[in-house]
Structure 1
C-alpha cells in the first residue's frame, strides 16, 4: 500500500515517530491541489485548486500495522484516507492521501515545510511518542481533543533537553532511570500520570521499582511589570481554585502576570502576550529572574519568571482577562514599598510572586540608577 504525504509527515523524524521506524520516501506531486496552513491550526491541509501542484513524498510497502498507526495519527483530526493518482519520477501511480473532511478545516496562507519545521517541528516530534502511546487505549478523536495540551508538553520536553548545570548534583543521563510502566488515568487540560520506575541510587546501584504519580502541566511564565522611574509595580488579582480546594477562604491571589507557554512560542513571547491579555500592557525590556520547578516532588510544571521594565502611568490598572477563558483579573498599581509590605505581612502567598519581589528588592537600586541616569 502506498501513501502520499504533503504536510508534516514529509518531515522524516515525525514520520519515523508515527510509523515506529525510519522510512525511505521519494519525491511526488498531486496535480490540481494546493497546500495551505489550516486556519487556527499548527498543521497544513490540502485542497483542490485548478492548475496548482502539491509537492510531497511517496511512501511504499507499508504493513497493515503501519497503516493502522497512520490512520490513528491522522484520524482524530478529521482527515480521511482517499485514493488519488500521484505523479512520481517513475510515472503516475495510485496512492492514499489524507484529505480533510469537508467543512471542518479551512485554508489560510500558503504552507511551507521549512517554516513549520522551524516553528513547530521539534515540539511535534516530541509529542508524537505520547500520541502514539495511546493507540489501542483511547480513540483517536479523544487524543485529538487534548492535542493542544499535549503539544505544550512536547515543547516542554524540547526545552528540558537543553544542557543544564550539574556541578554538584547528579547529572543523570541515559540508563539512569528505568521505566517499567506508565499510564494516564486522567487527562484534560492537565493530566495525571502514574509511573512505575527505578532510578540510580547514590550507592551506584539501581533501586527497586517504585510507584510515583505526577501532575503534568505545561511550562509557564510569570512577569512582574516594574516602572523604575515611578518606582511602582502592577500586580494582578484573581480567584484561584488551588487555595480554595485547600480550604483557604482568601482564595484570591496577588500575583505577577502569568500564563502557559503556547506551542511555537518562546517564554519571552508568552510573557509579552500574557501582559496584553491580563493587563493591557506592552512590556519593555524583559529581565530574567529565575527558571525553576515550583514543586518537583509531584508536579512537572517549569516556570520562567521575569521582571519587565514598563511604563506604568496613573490609570494603568483595570479589569482584564479573556472572557472565553472565564478570566476575571483585576490589576493593582502600587509602589514598590507597598508590594514589599504585602510580602512582609503574608498577603502575598504564592511562590513566583515572592521570588520575584525578593529579586526586585535586590536589583532595584541598580535598575533605578540606570533608569534615572542622564
Structure 2
C-alpha cells in the first residue's frame, strides 16, 4: 500500500497517480503512464506519453510535473497617494539560486486551497497585509512556469486605504510565515524593477499592468 495512491497521504489524498491519465483535448498526445515520485506536501509526478510531431512521426516522451495547486496574487494600490502596498518575506528557493539574502518584495499571494480565486485573494490580502478588500478586479490568468510546474496563477488588483497603524508582521506563524508590508510610491516601485530590487515575476507583471492598462495608465 502506497500513501497518496492506495491509502491517504498526510493531506488525506488518494489516487494521485490517476491525475492526467484521461486527458483527450490534444489528439497529438497519448498518455501512457503517470508515476507519483513524491507527495509529501505538493505532488511530483513523472508522466510518460507519446507525442506526434509536426512531421507526423511519434516519439515516446517523459516529463516531470510539480503540482502545488493553483494560486492567486493581488496588487493593492492607492491612487490618491500614488502608492502600492507590497510584501517582503524570505524565499529559500531564491536564496539558494543567487539572490543575496532571499528577502523578496512581492505582491500578496497564496494558494487557492479549495477556495475560489476571489475568496482566496481576499483571504491572502488580509493575512499578508492586514487589509480587508472588497470585490477585486480580475486582471488575467497565467501559467508561470509551464515547462515543469502545473500552477495557474490568478492575478487581481484592488484599492486599499492607509491604516492608522500596522502590525509588526503578517502571515500565518504556524506555517512559518514572517511577512512585512512595504508601501512604495508607484514610480519608485517601477524603478526598482529596472534596478532588480524587485525581482519577482508576478509583481513585475502587475506593476507593468498598472502602468499600461491599470490605475496608473494615464500617469
Is this a same-fold pair by TM over 0.5? yes
Query: Which runs of structure 2 are paired with 1:79-228 in the superposition (5 Å)?
Result: 134-135=5-6, 140=7, 143-147=8-12, 173=25, 175-203=27-55, 205=56, 207-228=58-79
Name 2:108's counterpart in structure 1: 257
Max radius of gyration: which structure?
1
Which secondary structure state, in structure 1, belongs to the residue aligned with residue 215 of structure 2? helix
CA deviation map 1:207-257 (0-9, x unaligned) = 211111111121001111111222111110000011122143231100000
Aligned residue for 2:209, secondary structure, equals helix
Whether the 8 Å contact between 1:321 and 1:328 is mirrored in structure 2 is yes
- Structure 1: 5+ residue runs without aligned partners? 1-71, 77-130, 162-171, 369-374
Q: 1:206 to 1:310 in 2, by over 3 A?
A: farther
The match for 1:123 is none
Where does 1:232-311 land on structure 2 (aligned, <5 Å)?
232-263=83-114, 265-311=115-161
Residues 282-323 of structure 1, C-alpha deviation per residue, up to 9 Å, x if partnerless? 113412222111110111111011111121246457411111
In 2: Cα distance, 1:267 partner to 1:353 partner: 17
Query: Structure 1 residues 317 and 150 mapped into 2: Cα distance closer, same or farther (>3 Å)?
Result: farther
Structure 2: state its 5+ residue gaps. none
Query: Helix, strand or coil: the match of 1:342?
Result: helix
Q: Does structure 1 conserve the Cα–Cα contact (< 8 Å) formed by 2:65 and 2:150?
A: yes
SS of structure 1 residue aligned to 2:88: strand
CA distance in 2, matches of 1:332, 1:342: 13
Q: Higher relative CO (CA 8 A, sep ≥ 6), structure 1 or 2?
A: 2
Q: 1:223 to 1:367 in 2, by over 3 A?
A: farther
- The answer on 1:347 being equivalent to 2:197 is yes
Alignment partner, residue 92 of structure 1? none
> CA contact under 8 A between 2:9 and 2:39: conserved in structure 1?
no
Task: Give the TM-score, by structure 2 length.
Answer: 0.86
Structure whose residues are more often helix by fraction: 1
